[in-house]
Structure 1
C-alpha cells in the first residue's frame, strides 16, 4: 500500500477531505530548468490538492492523517489514464488506414477516437465519484510535534 500524509480539512459521514501536498521529483532533477513539467510546477502557486478518503476513525479538522492507496488500484488507474488514450489514438489511425481512408482522414479518425477515450474517462470518473472501492483510505492519524 502506498502512503501519503495530509491534513484533514473537512469531516463527512464515513469520510474526510484531506489536503495533501503534491509530490514531484522536479526539485532534485538537474534538467528542471529546461523541462516543461518543471516550468509548469514553478508557475503554480498552490502545491496542495484535496482528496476525499474513507475512514472509520473519529477525526477533526486540522488532524494529520496517513492515507493509503493499494498498488493494484494505482496501477489500474495509471493504465486507464495513460494507456487507453494512446491505444485509442493508434487504433483510430490503423482503422482509418485499413478501411482505405486517406492519410488526412485517418489522422482525423485517430483524433476522434482519442477524444472519445477522454470523454469515456471523464464519464467513468463522474460515475465513480462516490465508489468507495476507488477511494484512498485513512490508515492512521498522526500528531504534529509542537515546537516551543
Structure 2
C-alpha cells in the first residue's frame, strides 16, 4: 500500500475535498540538504491542488486523513498516463514516416499519437481506488500502514 497524509478542505455527503500535507516526500531524509530531488520538491510544492475522495467517516475541514492506494492501482495509473501515450506517439510517428510524410509529418503523427493515447486512457473510465480513513484509525485497529 502507498500511504500519505492529507488535510480535509471541505466535506459533503461522503465526498471529501483533500489536499496533500505540506511535508515533502523526502522530508525525513538525512541527506536532504545535498539532494537535488529535495530541491525540486521545494520548487513545485506551491502547485498542490485539492482532490475529491470518497470518505464514509464524518470529517470536517481541517481534519487529517490517511489516504492509501494499492501498488497495482498506482502501476495501472502510470501505464495509462505515461506508457500508453508514449507508445501511441511512437506509433503515430512511425505511421507518418511509413507514408513518407517527412520529419514534419512524423512530428504531427507523434503529437496525434499522444493525443490519441491520452484520449484512450481517459475513455477507459478507470479511476484508482483511494481509501480515505481518519489518521488515528490505524492505531485503534492495531494495524500499520
TM-score (norm 2): 0.70
5+ long unaligned stretches in structure 1? 144-148
* In 1: Cα distance, 2:62 partner to 2:35 partner: 36
1:77-118: CA deviation from partner (whole Å, max 9, x where unpaired): 111111112111110111122233323322321222223334
Judged with a 3 Å threshold, the aligned counterparts in structure 2 of structure 1 residues 105 and 29 are, in CA distance, closer, same or farther, namely farther
Tell me the matched-pair count: 133
Q: Is the 8 A contact 1:64 1:141 kept in 2?
A: yes
5+ long unaligned stretches in structure 2? 138-145
Q: Is the 8 A contact 1:67 1:137 kept in 2?
A: yes
1:95 corresponds to: 95
Q: CA deviation at 1:49?
A: 2.8
1:146 corresponds to: none
* Counterparts of residues 30-49 of structure 1 (less than 5 Å): 30=34, 32=36, 38=39, 41-44=41-44, 46=46, 48-49=48-49
* In 1: Cα distance, 2:45 partner to 2:81 partner: 25
Q: CA deviation at 1:7?
A: 1.4
* In 1: Cα distance, 2:67 partner to 2:103 partner: 48
Judged with a 3 Å threshold, the aligned counterparts in structure 2 of structure 1 residues 51 and 135 are, in CA distance, closer, same or farther, namely farther
Q: CA deviation at 1:9?
A: 1.4
| SS of the residue 1:100 aligns to | coil
Q: Is the 8 A contact 1:21 1:47 kept in 2?
A: no
Judged with a 3 Å threshold, the aligned counterparts in structure 2 of structure 1 residues 45 and 78 are, in CA distance, closer, same or farther, namely closer
1:138 corresponds to: 132
Q: CA deviation at 1:64?
A: 1.3
